[in-house]
Amino acid sequence: MDTAEGKATSSPNEKVISIEGLYKSFGDLHVLKGVDLDVYKGETVVVLGRSGTGKSVLIKIISRLLNADRGSVKVLGQEVGDLNEKELRNLRLKIGFSFQNSALYDSMTVGGNLEFPLVRNVKNLSRGEINKAVEEVLDSVGLLQTINQMPAELSGGQRKRIGIARTLIMNPEIMLYDEPTAGLDPTTCIEINELINEVKERYHTTSILITHDLTCAKMTGDRLAILLDGTFVSEGSFEHVFSNQDERIKSFYDYNFIK
Amino acid sequence: MSSSRKQAFISPKIDQFLLYFYQAYQFLGKFFWELVRGPFEFQEIVKQCYQIGYKSLPLISLTGFITGMVFTKQSRPSLLEFGATSWLPSLVSIAIVRALAPLITSLISAGRVGSSIGAELGSMRVTEQIDAMEVSAVNPFKFLVVTRVVASTICIPILSFYCAIVGLMGSFLDVTLNEKTNIQAFIQEAFEQITFLDIGSALVKAVAYGFTIGTVGCYQGYYAQKGTQGVGRAANTSVVLSMFLIFLEEVAIVQVTNWFR
């Protein structure tokens, strides 16, 4: 694999996520074929790749929504596949997962969505404390006015922001973004990219971001990794990855009109 | 890695059928395990009781009342041949308490509640809302499945009891219009033939049906796949499978009850 250092790794020696020899298949479809990736504290790694190459599968394995067939996935020093229920619950409290379609609970208001993980994971909070936490997080994504609205009443960009806010209320150490700009107009995409950078600065998160969007990758990523045919074929800074002359990678950025 | 397809254990269809039973068994095991260990979602159970129980009242009222009245009307000519129309209250009350009230309530609920649970959880599954609960360290099984099954198991017996009362009211209306019977005489006649075994078996049936509707709806919805098509299938299968199981349970419980009669 072609590798080079990215532009920023605040603590290069502190691995937050470490993946080695990861394999995952669905029946006869082999999606991940020996993936290796290290993510260091405070950095944002953008995983780029064509549809169906297993990018979302990768972050679902990190949060153990899916189990790996083979290989090692360590998050904050813990082997994810070996965790018991209680350990997994404690680890998940440190991980924020922003879903591609936001996955807001459509039977609850925006406020209800935000307080849902909080009231179930933090004991003995008063109503006042819950409301304050919800309002603070909503304010941080600029959508305080939507607190009593239902998810169906929100635009795509607002839903994405609320989805991110719902993860932030638990103050996560790690953020996993699955296609955060998919289906949004260019202006909203830029707003979401800025929000991702704000989240990183304000909450000091380590992130993995899955996207096809090269603008998003350039704006948010400290390091890029290209996932093709089940493995990472190139890894490093934006400039390094896109100076690669491998035809498979060239076709990817040619397609995105950033030659 | 080899790309060869896995060999079927018996045959693909039989394997799939057995796997379905195994998954259902695991699902039930998980339900009872999550039921007895905390934390408990009492507030959500109350909310689901409102959705399943209270919101079913208009439909159950209408169906129960009409069933009682129509059953009385249909039974009268046969009894009239023997000059035994005074038996109408007893006949109707036995039919309603033993069989009609729990069966009608559960069949209506299988349609209204089972499909609703199947579609709601199925939709939550395909839009990743259940995954979102899981990654936010909330137990979706406890919050979504346990609460709905418990609410359904509590509400269907209450609705069955209510259906029986409303059905007897329908019957009384018809009897009083035709036979000029007063309410005291009707009640006395109606309850004379009802035994504790009848009430007990009706209660057991209603609890079993409520549990069936809840578990089938939740199982189909919780494991829904393949997008919106999967949601439709979950809703549809919830109704069909619930009704099928309710009829099987009806036969089994009646058979067992008759051993004690």
Please give chain B's pLDDT, 261 residues, in tens.
Answer: 344 455 667 788 888 888 888 999 999 999 999 999 878 889 999 999 999 999 999 999 999 999 999 999 999 888 888 888 888 889 999 999 999 999 999 999 999 999 999 999 999 999 999 999 999 999 999 999 999 999 999 999 999 999 999 999 999 999 998 888 888 988 988 888 889 999 999 999 999 999 999 999 999 999 998 788 889 999 999 999 999 999 999 999 999 998 987
Question: Do the Cβ atoms of B138 and A120 come within 8 Å?
Answer: yes
Phi-psi map region of B226: left, alpha, beta (phi>0 left; psi -120 to 50 alpha): left
B226 or A11, which is more confident?
A: B226
Q: Does A26 lie at the interface with B, CB-CB under 8 angstroms? A: no
Question: Do the Cβ atoms of A97 and B5 come within 8 Å?
Answer: no
Lowest mean pLDDT among A7-21, A80-94, A177-191: A7-21
Report the C-alpha gap between B252 and B254 in whole angstroms: 6
- The answer, yes or no, to whether ipTM is higher than 0.90 is no
Q: Which site among A60, A97, A120 would you substitute to test the B interface, given the most B Cβ atoms closer than 10 Å to its Cβ?
A: A120
Question: Do the Cβ atoms of A97 and B135 come within 8 Å?
Answer: yes
Q: Does A120 lie at the interface with B, CB-CB under 8 angstroms? A: yes
Q: Which residues of A touch B47 (CB under 8 A)?
A: none
**Identity of the residue numbered A74:** K
Q: Determine, yes or no, domain membership for A157.
A: no
Q: Which of B212, B246, B226 is nearest to B31 (CA)?
A: B212
Question: Do the Cβ atoms of B131 and A103 come within 8 Å?
Answer: yes
Give the range of the structural domain holding residue A22, as residue numbers without chain letter. 2-105+176-255
Domain count, chain A: 1
Question: Do the Cβ atoms of A63 and B5 come within 8 Å?
Answer: no
Q: Determine, yes or no, domain membership for A232.
A: yes
Q: Determine, yes or no, domain membership for A69.
A: yes
pLDDT tens digits, residue range A23-72? 999 888 898 998 899 999 999 999 988 888 888 999 999 999 999 999 99
Q: Does B182 lie at the interface with A, CB-CB under 8 angstroms? A: no
Q: Determine, yes or no, domain membership for A53.
A: yes
Mean pLDDT confidence for A97-101: 91
Nearest to B136 among A101, A107, A117 (CB): A117
Q: Determine, yes or no, domain membership for A143.
A: no
Q: Determine, yes or no, domain membership for A16.
A: yes
Q: Determine, yes or no, domain membership for A113.
A: no
CATH of the domain at A221: 3.40.50.300
The pTM score is 0.87
Q: Which of A103, A118, A81, A104 is nearest to B138 (CA)?
A: A118
Whether the CB-CB separation of A127 and B150 falls below 8 Å is answered with no
pLDDT tens digits, residue range A71-92? 999 999 999 999 998 999 999 9
How is residue B230 written in tokens? 């999967």
Q: Determine, yes or no, domain membership for A166.
A: no
| 117-156 in chain B: CB under 8 A from chain A | 120, 124, 127-129, 131-138
- The tally of CA atoms less than 13 A away on the side-chain side of residue B154 is 17
